[in-house]
A = this chain, B = another copy of it.
């Protein structure tokens, strides 16, 4: 574990404790027992640190499809996995939303699920819209649930999330030839 990884790990812990608005270079330095300027030996800027945090969070969203599932199962698994990754840290969804530039793994996963829908009978244009729509929904839903922290119990939020997802999947199913 390099010092850089140590800084990154501590930054994620701090994010989870204080939220993104109070995630400060100086606070992070304090927690590491170091002067603020010392962090710039490991990351060229705060933005670069945030990017590394995003990359770390995104990497936890496993893209493994459930074996034997149909396209709807894959779509549900992918959406749930994305949401879970964001929920793992306080303000995770907001952090990812400000970030632009999906990594090659995310792009690959995106195209794979689009191909799956196409193979299942959805016109490829519609398949693209469908996957985009699901991700807009996941991001919007998760940002909102994290904004209202603990206001609604997790069980209920999970239920609502699946219900909305089911609605979109029903809409996709209606486009099947």
Interface size on A, residues (CB 8 A): 33
> Interface majority SS on A: helix, strand, loop or mixed?
helix
Contact A97 B133 (CB under 8 A): no
Contact B170 A129 (CB under 8 A): no
Given contacts A140-B143, A144-B139, contact A167 B164 (CB under 8 A): no
Tally of this chain's copies: 2
> Which residue of B has the minimal Cβ distance to A138?
B140
- Assembled-state Cα–Cα distance A126/B173 (Å): 18
Q: Shortest beta-carbon distance, A154 to chain B, in Å?
A: 17
Q: Shortest beta-carbon distance, A168 to chain B, in Å?
A: 6
> Which residue of B has the minimal Cβ distance to A172?
B167
Q: Contact residues of A with B, CB < 8 Å?
A: 94, 97-98, 100, 126, 129-130, 132-133, 135-141, 143-144, 147-148, 160, 163-164, 166-175
Q: What 6 additional pairs, Cβ within 8 angstroms, besides A98-B147, A129-B164?
A: A97-B143, A136-B137, A136-B140, A138-B140, A170-B171, A170-B175
